[in-house]
Amino acid sequence: MKLIEEKERRARQRLFKVQFASLYEWQLRFIKATAEYSACMLMAANQVGKTRTGLTVDAAHLLGEYPDGWEGHRFDHAPMCWLLGFSMEKTRDLLQKPLFGTYESGKWTGGLIPADRIVGHLSATGTSGAMREVRVKHSSGSISTVQFWSYSQGQHAIMGDVVDWYHIDEEPRDKAIFPQVITRTANGDRGRGGRGILTFTPENGRTELVVQFMDTPGESQYMQRATWDDAPHLSEATKRNLLSQYPEWQRDMRTKGMPLLGAGLIFDIGNDAIKCEPFEIPDHWWLINGMDFGWDHPQAHIQLAWDKDADVIYVTHAWKKQKTVPEVAWSAIKSWAAGVFTAWPADGLQSEKSSGNQQRDAYAKAGWTMCLDHATWQAGGVGVEAGLVELYSRMDSGTFKVFSHLHEWFDEKLNYHRGDDGKIVKLRDDLLSATRYAYMMRRFAVQKSAVGKPKATAKPKARPRAGSNSWMG
């Protein structure tokens, strides 16, 4: 009996680490983003594990124990944490119970936080079993504190405290709640500024908060999406059953985490229709790179592989990062970009912010094989709508595919939409723009078998003819 009891005790002690080890790759990406951004939004479909993701982060901070492989933010002290939900009933059932389990007969059982680490609590008034505050023994020896708040209390109830970490679960209808929470973090984390996460399905549509993160994000804000495609625990039968019960107008919101997006998505084709597992590109296929310059917004780089025999185009590589100089970006992508011509937009003729040099020349000097001229169609012109129509047609016909691990590319696709005025919302479209530039210039693709081989020493007398595959210099 003693051995059985000890085994059960150890199992309870390991619940947090077991949960972390079971997270999907997209959940780990979201956790990683908390190290770089102070406000991270997980706007996701129903039942994919968004709250579970957030609670895993909450538990790590309260315990001060970060598992092997943890790439998210770390506090070097016991933090003050706020967890917020619609009501105290919701915070009790969706946040408090998974974290701490149930409290009966003076004992805690069944939560991510081991019972022997819980050193005190204050009950909330008016809601049976709900806690206002729970205190946890931190690995540093100090005491972490988590306070539970409901939106129904209004913004005035959450004034005055200094907060290190917050977790807003489900979007508050009161648009004053988020600014008030952010204000409380101003002096958090020992004066360095607190941070936190939002996990919700956008049931309220394109609210000010959603629009801010989607269309006008600040430098400290990050948004990630997750759909039913990202949730292997949902069986096809479960998805069919749930889908049949949703009103048609709610289905994209429930299954893809999508608010109503003005005039709608530009590429409203399901990810499964264009996804494919990565594979080794045959030597006789043709390669072309595309890039979108950026500093305050990310610079982006992609590679297309073209199977000319079947006329199918694959996005095989994608990388983006903001405020990164060309030399650093080149070191990150040269393993696949070297020796392949790169299509670039007309703003490459402008000065590069970090050096003052012309952007095209700065990237050529760093290592890229830049096309001689900026991206245009074979017949001339740079029409954006023409490119969107062609790419959409290829997606619809099955002649445009994307390697399944390129998550950031798919995130942009889910966000690429037209506003109420019918115009393209030109935000978070860096990889998609790079894809379009490469597609426009695919006539200058180089055969994979020729990449890295010496080129002719004689300098071309003229630029390559449209439709040729000659070296562009």
Q: At what angle do helices 430-440 and 407-415 cross, to 10 degrees?
A: 100
pLDDT for res 156? 66
For residues 115 and 180, the answer to whether their CB atoms sit within 8 Å is no
Please state, for a pLDDT cut of 90, what percent of the chain lies above it.
67
| 115-119: average pLDDT | 93
| 34-40: average pLDDT | 96
pLDDT tens figures, 372-426? 999 999 988 998 988 998 999 999 899 999 999 999 999 899 888 887 677 888 8
Residue 263's pLDDT band, with cuts at 50, 70 and 90, is low
Residue 218's pLDDT band, with cuts at 50, 70 and 90, is confident
Pick the residue with more confidence: 357 or 231? 231
User: For the chain, what are the domain ranges?
Assistant: 2-242, 273-450
| 283-305: average pLDDT | 95
CATH ID of 2-242, from 3.30.1330, 1.10.10, 1.10.260, 3.40.50: 3.40.50
pLDDT tens figures, 232-244? 999 999 999 999 9
pLDDT for res 261? 60
Confidence check: pLDDT of 466 > 70: no
Q: If you average pLDDT over every residue of the chain, what do you get?
A: 89
Of 8-17, 165-174, 272-281, which range is least confident?
8-17
For residues 431 and 277, the answer to whether their CB atoms sit within 8 Å is no
| 297-314: average pLDDT | 96
Pick the residue with more confidence: 13 or 171? 171
pLDDT for res 459? 42
Of 359-363, 443-447, 461-465, highest mean pLDDT: 443-447
Active-site residue numbers? Answer: 170
pLDDT for res 471? 39
Q: Could you name the CATH architecture of 273-450?
A: 2-Layer Sandwich (3.30)
Residue 457's pLDDT band, with cuts at 50, 70 and 90, is very low
Of 41-55, 70-84, 258-272, 316-330, which range is least confident?
258-272
Residue 259's pLDDT band, with cuts at 50, 70 and 90, is confident
